[in-house]
Chains A and B, each alone.
Chain A
């Protein structure tokens, strides 16, 4: 038999039919739904008098607009209408939803895996680009637009074309203070934000095998920031241990059968890849983004780059524009950049492991008095409860952080949590685009421990000096 890559295995097992031009009808196993990208899809179904194909495939939650202080009321009527519309639609069609106030509610990409609703060998879609997160479970997980959400609702399929495949091997051992987030940023810094365009990325190598499921999710989450359609990691014992006993995971004899199949979900020896990239993790350091694209990233020990040294005109102008927006000078030390706010949260870094790592840095310390706000927003109600059971909330609050309710929050500021114009933030989220966290706001992407260390120092600082 031909050796196959993980992507090809997932692709082949979901093709319902294929057109002569390569367009395939791909069967969708799991459909995650949130309030922002679904209302027009439900509306479309109703206008065409169509029904849902398989209601059991859908799991819904409100996350983007949810307030993180008081979850009972949404003050903004426009946000409220969007969340109410999701609740109404779920009720009307009998869709399982974790609405605001439910202890399982949270960011859609946190709750899917947490519930075991994301399983190996599945196709997973959601009207959200960070659906790539779920690829950590050897699932083919893709973000889709609202018309496609409607298409999946009505037909359980997606019109798709086979992507090219890139294997990113990260070998070696991560040094202390270097996390999955730094690996993700290092990869993006290396291949660029368009480096993965048209590709699905399989992350492999000893470093990936050594990551927890949380870490693998962080990495796959940011595959989209490298331009890739999907990110994925092969199944191993770490995957299986995470899944066993989760609410949606198979039980008993089905679990045994599932495990036997899931164990085949890896790239075969000799599988073909369109591109291969190998990185040595031994050289990785804690990273900080300096610009308005995730590829604009540099080590904490480094300096803001100088556009004058860039020969490509479009790139140089892009750097100059980014420096103006970020209000930074070339050659300035990263550790000299002072911050106004700190945000620990988002589908990239809001899981228990992330909160533990940040709390470990904060224990017995206080956030700098110059900080206007330090915010922790757990990814789900269950993460929040688990963190509280360990006393992490106490550590955060003693240090001067606010401990909030789950949601997307200041990752994109559709609720009340956002940056004011000119404010600078150390953020564990995934996008540092202009205005992402609030109009005129300046975002620096970092790992949870780097965010915690920056909160204490009031400026970026090498977290490794905190770890000894």
Chain B
């Protein structure tokens, strides 16, 4: 897992609710067997005017000038500001991979779809839930101030505005610990291998059919 370091990042707003994983990374790009290279196709259907295909030279495609990601003032954004239920839809981890590959480090929204929220941590991306009215204020602030940045501090669990207003956010202790230290969760879990084996032995007694091999 990638380590999350404190961030002072340019904010890009995606002002619509229920942004789904098909929108974040359309299915034709899921055919890749790699974890990287999805950035150029993040929000592909909104970002380009033609229909994207894997393996294309994206630099030659017609871009949609109306889409925020294409506007000059948001180039280099690292914080994505979103509305409710961000990341709904499929379990594809390609969605956080695409955001990460593009350069986004944190996503702020009033709510996230569960699987997407979970997947973010695995890719070193920080999903932050802030109250809907705070998110709304941030949308206004971003619109009003080109170059608007937010400071995201995971250790302190705060998002701080340029005016110095700090908004606290919640995060599970264990996830925070793993993300701050860039820990390998599988390695951590395998330290409990004996407990897993003991559990398995008990279940093999009580529900042997679970461990039967295929018919």
Contact = CB atoms under 8 A, between A and B. Distances in A.
B115 A143 contact: yes
Contacts of B51: 421, 439-440
Interface string B204-215: 001111111111
A159 B35 CA distance: 21
A121 B203 CA distance: 11
A198 B114 contact: yes
B89 A129 contact: yes
B40 interface: no
Nearest to B189: A155
Given A122-B210, A127-B91, A197 B199 contact: no
B interface residue count range (under 10 / 10 to 19 / 20 to 34 / 35 or more):
35 or more
A25 B16 contact: no
B195 A17 contact: yes
B23 interface: yes
A337 B17 CA distance: 26
Secondary structure class of chain A's binding surface, majority of residues: loop
A261 B207 contact: yes
Contact of A147 (B111, B113, B123): B123
Interface string A59-95: 1000011000000000010110110010000000000
A394 interface: no
B133 to A, nearest CB: 12
B192 A16 contact: yes
Given A17-B195, A21-B174, A145-B119, A227 B16 contact: no
B89 A16 contact: no
A321 B16 contact: yes
A376 B76 CA distance: 46
Given A19-B174, A25-B192, A151-B189, A317 B16 contact: yes
Contacts of A156: 196, 200
Interface-centre pick from B18, B115, B203 (highest chain A CB count, 10 A): B18
Contacts of B123: 147
B27 A146 contact: no
B181 to A, nearest CB: 15
Interface string B185-203: 1100110110110011001
Contacts of A434: 20, 22-23, 45
Contacts of A79: 31
